[in-house]
Amino acid sequence: MAQQSGKLMPNLDQQSTKLLNLTVLQRIDPFVEEILITAAHVTFYEFNIDLSQWSRKDVEGSLFVVKRNTQPRFQFIVMNRRNTDNLVENLLGDFEYEVQAPYLLYRNASQEVNGIWFYNARECEDVANLFNSFLYQPVNC
């Protein structure tokens, strides 16, 4: 165990951490087969079209883009630190998004407009690039 700012922290390398996260995600969804990318800390906002304003949602935590062994093949999951409701969005061909770093704005299947604020702007770019790689190309199943 490593001492870090007065707290005992387990010494986990990146691979062990990824394996641990995969195990946790598979408890939520047994079809998750791989974590493609992780963003350490994100906060969600929703856009009220009638009022033309953003408000903070009760969703905050680590974001995982995952590959599944069934349809839908790709999703992102946020392990919510604010309550027990984790956020899951399917990444399908009609998923629309736009990057305004450190925000990634998207419209989901329910036509809700949401914004994801990334603590680390680089993670925002990396997640958007990953979305781009499989949303706008034919997916081999």
> What tens digit of pLDDT does each residue of 121-130 get?
999 999 999 9
Task: List, in sequence order, every residue forming a beta bridge with 30; answer none if it has no partner.
Answer: none
**Cβ distance 18 to 9 under 8 Å?**
no
For residue 44, give every residue at least 6 positions away whose Cβ sits within 8 Å of its Cβ, in sequence order, or none: 56, 57, 59, 60, 78, 87, 114, 115, 116, 117
Q: Which of 102, 90, 107 is nearest to 127 (CA)?
A: 102
pLDDT band at 139; cut points 50, 70, 90 = very low
Q: Give the global pTM.
A: 0.85
pLDDT for 14: 80
**pLDDT over threshold 70, residue 15:** yes
pLDDT value of residue 136: 67
How would residue 90 be classed by pLDDT, with cut points 50, 70 and 90? very high
pLDDT at residue 134 in the model:
82
